[in-house]
Amino acid sequence: MKICTIQELLNARVIVGEERLGDHVYSACGSDMMSDVLAYVKDQAVLLTGLVNPQVIRTAVMMDMHCIVFVRSKEPTPEMIQLAEESGMVLLATDKRMYEACGLLYSNGLVGNKVRETSA
Amino acid sequence: MSGALSFHFDVDGENFTMAGQASVQVKKNLRRLGLPPEVIRRVSIAMYEGEINMVIHAGGGHAEVVVAEDAIEIVLQDNGPGIANIEQAMQAGFSTAPDAIRSLGFGAGMGLPNMKRYTDEMDIQSEVGRGTRITMRVLLEN
Ligand SMILES: Nc1ncnc2c1ncn2[C@@H]1O[C@H](COP(=O)(O)OP(=O)(O)OP(=O)(O)O)[C@@H](O)[C@H]1O
Ligand SMILES: [Mg+2]
């Protein structure tokens, strides 16, 4: 799925990374616990989260992710935006809540892990 | 270790906002050196977990990353409270982090086991009241 499709499905605002909206991503995960993202996530390129602090960006950078979606109208700080810019991370923000945002992406084909996609 | 390259960082324990920034810098440096992405990812995740630990559990410390021909070595050293029972601390899910840390997205008790998982060698030296020194190595295959 292209990042711009995620943006459309979630009616999201692009905070940074307009030039990367055409990039393809194949799986996503949702969590407010960065500990869990670091421990359980493998190749998911998109992180949906309701947590707002610089560690969200740094965690996604460590995990080689491409895009962060802030749910529940959460707004990243200028410092976070700058960090994202430096790392080439796309930041999106949506009014939708975590459950609905994840459900919308999943039901439109963005799975939790790549296995399903490659074996389909 | 001739030709080894090393990076040193002071990790500020007073300012959570900065936590993880040394690891981000190391990741950039390793990328510039053209190391394999999987190696970079393992080193950065392991160091990041350790760096966050130094900030939330030990009031900050020092980090040193040495890039040698055969391995990347990460040394994290702090003068914090130390770890009384290392075996227990290594168990997935064990955490002494307060709720305030959990609301920042950390404190699931997954960091140390994750550091072990992502590195080839890991050694913890810790003394209660004195501090903790963690050495991790990720081997480079040539
Ligand atoms: N540098 C340190 N100094 C003192 N205690 C530490 C240090 N690192 C870890 N610990 C202790 O070991 C426990 C387990 O650490 P671990 O990183 O596995 O989990 P956590 O930091 O509590 O949560 P998470 O890493 O999932 O965010 C900590 O809760 C803490 O009690
Ligand atoms: Mg930890």
CB within 8 Å: B105 and A58 = no
d(CA A112, CA A117): 10
CB nearest A56 (choices: B45, B105, B110): B105
At what angle are helices A54-62 and B21-32 packed, to 10 degrees? Answer: 30
Alpha carbon of residue A4 to chain centroid: 12
Q: How far is B89 from chain A (nearest CA, A)?
A: 15
| Model confidence band, residue B51 (pLDDT cutoffs 50, 70, 90) | very high
Structural domains present in chain B? 5-139 (3.30.565.10)
Best residue among B87, B95, B127 to mutate for probing ligand 1's pocket (most ligand atoms within 8 Å of CB) is B95
In the reported structure, the alpha carbon of residue B109 is separated from the centroid of ligand 2 by a whole-number distance in angstroms of 6
Q: How far is the CA of B91 from the centre of ligand 2 (A)?
A: 11
User: Ligand 1 centroid to B109 CA: how many Å?
Assistant: 6
> A107 to chain B, minimum CA–CA distance in Å?
27
Residues facing B133 on adjacent strands = B77, B125
Q: Is A55 on the interface with B (CB under 8 A)?
A: yes
Please list every residue in chain A whose beta carbon sits closer than 8 Å to the beta carbon of residue B41. 62-64
Tokens read off for A119: 């074996």
Q: Do residues B40 and B138 make contact, with C-beta atoms less than 8 angstroms apart? A: no
Q: Is B90 in the pocket of ligand 1 (CB under 6 A)?
A: no
Residue A95 clears pLDDT 90, i.e. is over it: yes
B53-57 long-range contacts, CB within 8 A, separation 24+: B53/B111, B53/B112, B54/B11, B54/B13, B54/B78, B54/B80, B55/B11, B55/B12, B55/B13, B55/B16, B55/B18, B55/B19, B56/B16, B56/B19, B56/B97, B56/B101, B56/B106, B56/B107, B57/B81, B57/B96, B57/B97
Domain extent listing, chain A: 3-107
Average pLDDT, chain A: 93
Second-level CATH architecture of A3-107: 3-Layer(aba) Sandwich (3.40)
Whether residue A120 has pLDDT greater than 90: no
Q: What is the pLDDT of residues A27-80, one digit of tens each?
A: 999 999 999 999 998 888 999 999 999 999 999 999 999 999 999 999 999 999
Q: What pLDDT, on the 0 to 100 scale, is given for residue B142?
A: 66
Radius of gyration over every alpha carbon of chain B, rounded to an integer in angstroms: 15
